[in-house]
Chains A and B, each alone.
Chain A
Amino acid sequence: MRRSIRSTAAVVIAVLVAAMIGRAAPAIAAEDVTRERLDNGVTVLVRENPLAPVVAVALLVRMGTRWERAENAGISNFVHAVMVKGTARRSGADLAEAVAGLGGKLTASGEVDYSGIQASALARFWRELIGLTAEVALTPKLEPADGPRREIDRVR
């Protein structure tokens, strides 16, 4: 009965909130957001919202169609489609199971100016969710062991 499509919508909402922060939307005061730059250059923005027991993580990267050339047009989108299908340590099925075990969703998609991984889960699993996001971002399999290029061919 509560098997609604709204859980998908929630992921979108998280991204919308992210966009609003960027534009300093009036509902979110600047002091509610902490911003830190790690030694390796990664910027971390955090906002606590105690009203709902959920967490959303967005990893944004400066990669997008505007950097594509005629020879590799579409490669950004292709990378997003393949990268969520497994990591160096996990098969696609294991990854899906790990995400589901957090009550979560994890997708990758891109835009003209940026790309990224969008993930959400129950708030108590925030550490695990950041861990999975990093794992998918840094060690995507892109070429599964059960057959070279098989996943890539399937996506194609």
Chain B
Amino acid sequence: MSARGRLVLVLVLLAGCASGAAGGRAAVSSRPTREVLPNGVVLIAQEHRASDVVALQLWMRVGGRDETADELGLSHYLEHMLFKGTPTRPPGSIDALIEGLGGTSNAFTSQDYTHFDVVLPAQHMRAGIELLADIAVNASFEQRELDAERKVVFEEMRLTEDNPDRFMVRRLYEVGYAPHPYGRPLLGTEQLIGALTRDRLNAYYKKFYVPGDMVLVAVGAVKSADVRDAVVATFGRLSGSPPPRPPSASPPTLAGGRRDDIRRSEQQAYLGLGWRTAATNEPDVYAVDLLTYILGDSPSSRLSQRLRDQDRLVFAIEAAYGAWERAGLTTVVARLDPANLARAEATILEVIQRVKAEGVTEAERQRAIITAESNYAFDIETAEGLAKTYGQAETTWTLDDEIAYLSRLRKITAAQIQTVARKYFADDNYARVRFLPPASR
């Protein structure tokens, strides 16, 4: 290649090689502080000077799983509406404020939690916390804004269905968890959202957006004591009823298997398989995490090597592990020629069977740990990423578990990985979703 002669610029960005300390966590400046204010608000703060910004995140202990059948989609709708305005902040002014300070905002909803975040230059930390405390309880839901947002949510529904990768994950979770609330659509249904009234949304908001459901995480170029002062003066003054979340049951098992075939317009087929594995509070999470890496994290993983490179049955194949507070699901998703569907499924089962029978190698175990370590290191590289890790841990796990995560992962043996493969994975206890090309072809 002529490229060799033209090699002119090597750019190397090095990070973290100074300390010489072993392990992934060493470079993080310090541990977070965690405090429960008298009204129940949890405050997690950490000084982190990667750059001159602060990540401020409000995590609410409410999500899709808390909705009744006629409230589907309300957690997500609130996620959209909170930045729209309060009595003292007219519509549009919140975005203008954040952008005017040079910041960004974002929000997302899961089955277990709802999350709002802003990233701001560190000197505006107090303004950011005041804003989050205001929208947490004073959102005004003006009718015009509420109606306008309906179209945005409808469009989000269509976007998910239009994208086969996203739709596959959604269907797999629906089929894998139904009829548990974890198996219901986070966005709600067109019918329910179409008929949504301000009163209904407001009642849901008043019920769940109470101090005992709130977690505020602040990570960045700020002193934890300054964060605390700002949070006590804002979130600390909120009052409300105790958190309403009832104890939630675990989803039913997948014994006997579940099957769902969907005709779609794409010419490629999709195959998705899901096994119920460990929830966040179960000790098996570490071994399941490593097993998932070994099965399908990268081009060098077992599934990719066998089905993509060796047997040429799929164009792409990946395994993923979603651990939630009440249940976990390990999924395998492949893109393939429809003619290969049956053989690909049988081969996936064979690859898993082999792990159950023979276990994994020490080299695979070590590679999986390094991958986990690396993913973790990249996750927590920014103030925003670190704050997200803490908030997610606080709402679905515990902060202590999160901090101990890598050290526990490193202790998992190859035998323990084989044990969880045998415990959770069988030929007749998985959910299967297939996308098939149009029938007429």
Contact = CB atoms under 8 A, between A and B. Distances in A.
Interface string B1-37: 1111011111111111111001111111100000000
A115 B3 CA distance: 9
A55 B14 contact: yes
Interface string A54-65: 111111111100
B13 A56 contact: yes
A103 B367 CA distance: 7
Query: Chain B: interface residue count, which band?
Result: 35 or more
Interface string A114-156: 1100001111101000100000011010100000000000000
A96 B15 contact: no
B321 interface: yes
Main secondary structure of the interface of B (DSSP, over half): mixed
A130 B12 contact: yes
Interface string A9-27: 1100110011001000001
Given A96-B299, A102-B370, A3 B15 contact: no
Contacts of A62: 6, 8-9
A115 B385 CA distance: 29
B8 A42 contact: yes
Nearest to A118: B11
A18 B301 CA distance: 30
B360 to A, nearest CB: 14
B375 interface: yes
Nearest to B371: A103
B326 interface: no
A125 to B, nearest CB: 8
Contact of B9 (A42, A101, A124): A42
A69 interface: no
Contact of A54 (B301, B372, B377, B396): B377
A70 interface: no
A48 B24 CA distance: 16
A46 B328 CA distance: 42
B51 interface: yes
Contact of B367 (A4, A55, A101, A137): A101
Closest 3 CB pairs of A and B: A103-B374, A10-B378, A1-B323
Interface of A: 1-4, 6-7, 9-10, 13-14, 17-18, 21, 27, 41-63, 79, 92-93, 96-97, 99-104, 114-115, 120-124, 126, 130, 137-138, 140, 142
24 contacts: A1-B280, A1-B285, A1-B323, A3-B292, A27-B52, A41-B7, A42-B7, A44-B12, A49-B50, A50-B15, A50-B18, A52-B28, A52-B378, A53-B25, A56-B13, A59-B9, A61-B7, A63-B2, A63-B6, A100-B371, A103-B374, A104-B374, A122-B370, A123-B15
